[in-house]
A and B are shown apart, each in its own frame.
Chain A
């Protein structure tokens, strides 16, 4: 019974991420795009999928993973997100330099660009701060990471939803809703635990 539940949770997670990717892979728009542009687009789509895994790992909601293993995977996927963002931005830059420069300078005519650029900087900031998290102290690090994570998720979801691209609308909206739900749940849980624990004491991880 327990095994069935574990398998079901992992299958649902895999479907939530793989269905939008598969739907995007069948988009008719890909026919008119070059390989670099396609790669850049899919780096963004896979990155959105990883944003669903990250809060689930952070909250310890995924069965069959120890807290230690979960945290290690969370770190690795965080690093992968940085790489995906670099591929996404780099590939789009190669495809059309003026459009990418406009976006990075917040001078783009497309309303979704600033949301993506803000999320990008927040991802870089988390990666950088993660390297110094011991010096920041656990409480400060958690608050900073939580705020930046919220910026990343909201920025990415708005960015993705406003784009008319290869992603299929319904599967994209479903994935975005799951990402928002997962991050809300983990933030609410963590805030509750931090409130319960007196200042200065570490919040025990599950």
Chain B
């Protein structure tokens, strides 16, 4: 998803951060931070409905929401985690029950759920995802599509213990 843009400013910034982390890494070899937890995005929890059912597919499908769930620190994939997904689609508004569904991650921590086409709402074509099962800290994501014509969207979770 990330586009790497190489210019002088980025190179200097990257070089500087490599130097800084490298040097501090040498000074503090024990302090291994690893994979940082994903913070909730602002507006991520809007129109959330707690406890949406795990479904094979939301509505008639045609659009794919996918992503990964990993553990903060070592970045290990988390299997069997429940991810809830909702959006404004061709089959309903964000708050309506038929726009909501949940899926579980596989053994590699990956999830993928088919849902109806997302339609721009409140000025941006976007989806909502939640991890809200208690074992780890709750995270709400609100990824934005690059184009309203996209047929898929990704979101990635790194969770920390609650």
Interface residues of A (CB under 8 A from B): 29, 32, 34, 92, 95-96, 98-99, 102, 107-110, 112-113, 162-165
Interface residues of B (CB under 8 A from A): 41-47, 88-90, 93-95, 119-125, 142, 148
Distance of A34 Cα from B88 Cα, bound (Å): 12
Known: A29-B119, A162-B123. 5 other contacts (CB 8 A): A96-B46, A96-B93, A99-B43, A102-B46, A109-B42
A108 close to B121 (CB less than 8 A): no
* Given A32-B88, A109-B43, A109-B142, residue A164 in contact with residue B95 (CB < 8 A): no
A92 close to B119 (CB less than 8 A): no
A163 cross-chain contacts in B, Cβ below 8 A = 123
B46 cross-chain contacts in A, Cβ below 8 A = 96, 98-99, 102
Q: Which residue of B lies closest to A31 (CB)?
A: B90
Distance of A161 Cα from B15 Cα, bound (Å): 36
B43 close to A165 (CB less than 8 A): no
A164 close to B43 (CB less than 8 A): no
A32 cross-chain contacts in B, Cβ below 8 A = 88-90, 119
Distance of A110 Cα from B123 Cα, bound (Å): 8
Q: Which residue of A lies closest to B88 (CB)?
A: A32
B119 close to A102 (CB less than 8 A): no
* Given A110-B124, A164-B125, residue A102 in contact with residue B43 (CB < 8 A): yes
A92 close to B93 (CB less than 8 A): no
Distance of A110 Cα from B46 Cα, bound (Å): 13
B119 cross-chain contacts in A, Cβ below 8 A = 29, 32
A164 close to B148 (CB less than 8 A): yes
Q: Which residue of B lies closest to A159 (CB)?
A: B123
Contact of A165 among B41, B89, B123, B142 (CB under 8 A): B123
B42 close to A102 (CB less than 8 A): yes
A29 cross-chain contacts in B, Cβ below 8 A = 119-120
Residue pairs across A and B with Cβ atoms less than 8 A apart, 5 shown, are: A96-B95, A107-B42, A110-B123, A164-B120, A165-B120
Distance of A34 Cα from B121 Cα, bound (Å): 11
Q: Which residue of B lies closest to A103 (CB)?
A: B122
A108 close to B43 (CB less than 8 A): yes
Distance of A98 Cα from B148 Cα, bound (Å): 22
* Given A99-B46, A164-B148, residue A110 in contact with residue B122 (CB < 8 A): yes
A98 cross-chain contacts in B, Cβ below 8 A = 43, 45-47
Q: List 6 A-B pairs, minimum CB-CB distance, nearest first.
A: A98-B46, A163-B123, A109-B43, A109-B42, A32-B119, A164-B120
A165 cross-chain contacts in B, Cβ below 8 A = 120, 123
Residue from the set B43, B88, B148 with the largest chain A CB neighbour count within 10 Å: B43
Contact of A34 among B47, B93, B124 (CB under 8 A): B93
A164 cross-chain contacts in B, Cβ below 8 A = 120, 123-125, 148
Residue from the set A32, A99, A163 with the largest chain B CB neighbour count within 10 Å: A32
Distance of A163 Cα from B95 Cα, bound (Å): 21
Q: How far is the CB of A117 from chain B (nearest CB, A)?
A: 13
Q: Which residue of A lies closest to B41 (CB)?
A: A109
B43 cross-chain contacts in A, Cβ below 8 A = 98-99, 102, 107-110
